[in-house]
Amino acid sequence: MNSQKKRIPKPSYLIGWLPGDGIGPEVCNATRVVLDAVGFKAEYIHGDIGWEFWKSEGNALPERTIDILKYSDSALFGAITSKPAQVAEEELFPDIKERGFVYRSPIVHMRQLFDLYVCLRPCKSYIGNSANYREGIDLTVFRENTEDLYAGVEFSYVPNELARVLTELSKNFAPFKNLSGDEYAISCKINTKKGSERIVRAAFEYALAHNRKKVTVVHKANVVRATDGLFLDSARVVAKEYQGIAFDEANVDAICMWLLKNPFNYDVLVAPNLYGDIISDLCAQMVGGLGFGCSGNIGENFAVFEPTHGSAPKYAGMNKVNPLATILAAKMMLEWLGEIEKAMAIENAVARVIREGRVRTYDMGGTATTIEMASAVVEAFF
């Protein structure tokens, strides 16, 4: 898997720079201060992304942004606000049906377009962080990033031909029998063998490379038998190739309870897209909250790094939120590019700032601003 592939550092890089909206631009600006100070040489190319561009041009991930990503070495993404569910697409675009566009999450779109099938989310409690749930937590979540309920095959209005086939095939079980197409909706959960095997293999390869002891597959195969059954079976097949690493299985509901009860029983977790999304926020909260959750969307030849959090609109423009999640995402990006020393320098500086506890943003019980936190990380290099 690519997160382990050795890359040769380059004298300079082209980085797609996607701050997005809400708190995205603030945390990205703060991260740039750190990237410059660590001596990372790059040209940053700004890309438009988000709801604002959907409103103005009917595309939240415009073609010009996709082009930038195609020639970048990797990208850093801040956050975007999703389309509010109550805004009807027809209100903005009366001709929407003829033009054939409906809102699609640009992040999900980007992950699928570039086949960024690994969502890697390390969750580590840094020593001295008063926001830690427990000291000594070091979990890594592998979330499948292109399939499952995020496959994008959805029907807010169910077409007659689909209703007919489903009613026929599901016999008496269909809860939608006799309902008209606008009385129910369908989101398809689609999981493939290839998609399931490659994410589980990525988790095991990571475990091997990082001397991890155990991989736990997260599922709900006792109920969601077809798709989660396939994911679980695929995991079992792949696990046999890695005899030196323990393999464990857990239901998604149960693991939310077990993770809180004893996080030290777990090491590397691998899950289909939706469960991975959910457990990674849970794991982020155990290591101080979303201000510490960093994330890499990784494919074979391209990767986009981002904080796990969203655009937190209520804090936008206040220079108040914690930039460490994005700074740590940038650290993951440097690691992926092969800039190991610079990545380590960022990691050590972040650990030092947290350990010393003098500069703390509001979520850590302090009053430091976003940019003051970035400056503290820079000072900790020296």
Binding site for ligand NAI (CB under 6 A): 27, 79-82, 107, 289-291, 306, 309-314, 321-322, 325, 363
Q: What's at 150, amino acid-wise?
A: Y
**Could you tell me which of 81, 78, 144, 189 has the C-alpha nearest to residue 279?**
144
- Whether the CB-CB separation of 127 and 135 falls below 8 Å is answered with yes
CB-CB contact of 25 with 76 (8 Å): no
Q: Is 259 helix (H, G, I), strand (E, B) or coil?
A: helix
* Residue 342 interacts with which of Mg ion, ligand NAI, none, CB < 5 to 8 Å by class: none
Q: What minimum distance in Å lies between the beta carbon of 325 and ligand NAI?
A: 5
State how beta strands 118-124 and 138-144 pair.
antiparallel
Listed ranges 6-14, 52-60, 90-98, 272-280: which one lies at the site for Mg ion (CB under 5 A): 272-280
Question: Where do runs of H (alpha helix) occur along the chain?
Answer: 24-37, 51-57, 63-71, 89-92, 96-99, 106-113, 160-170, 193-209, 227-239, 252-261, 273-286, 324-337, 340-356, 370-379
* Between 201 and 309, CB nearer to ligand NAI: 309
Instruction: Decide whether 48 or 267 has the Cβ nearer to ligand NAI.
Output: 48
Q: How many CA atoms lie within 13 A of 240 on its CB side?
A: 5
d(CA 81, CA 51): 6
Count of residues of this chain found to bind Mg ion when the rule CB under 5 A is applied? 1
Looking at beta carbons only, is 215 or 349 nearer to ligand NAI?
349
d(CA 191, CA 342): 37
Q: Which is nearer to Mg ion, 148 or 277 (CB)?
A: 277
Choosing from 277, 306, 339, 363, the residue that interacts with Mg ion (CB under 5 A) is 277
Which of ligand NAI, Mg ion, none does 277 bind, CB closer than 5 to 8 A by kind?
Answer: Mg ion
Smaller CB distance to ligand NAI: residue 50 or 224? Answer: 50
**Least Å distance between CB 149 and Mg ion?**
13
Among ligand NAI, Mg ion, none, what does residue 329 contact (CB within 5–8 Å per kind)?
Answer: none
267 contact choice in ligand NAI, Mg ion, none (CB below 5 to 8 Å, kind-dependent): none
- Residue 222 DSSP symbol: T
Residue with tokens 């993951």: 332
Residue 291 C-beta: closest distance to ligand NAI, Å: 3
Q: How far is the CB of 268 from ligand NAI (least distance, A)?
A: 22
Work out how close the CB of 277 gets to Mg ion at its nearest, in angstroms, rounded to a whole number: 5
Q: Which residues bind Mg ion (CB under 5 A)?
A: 277
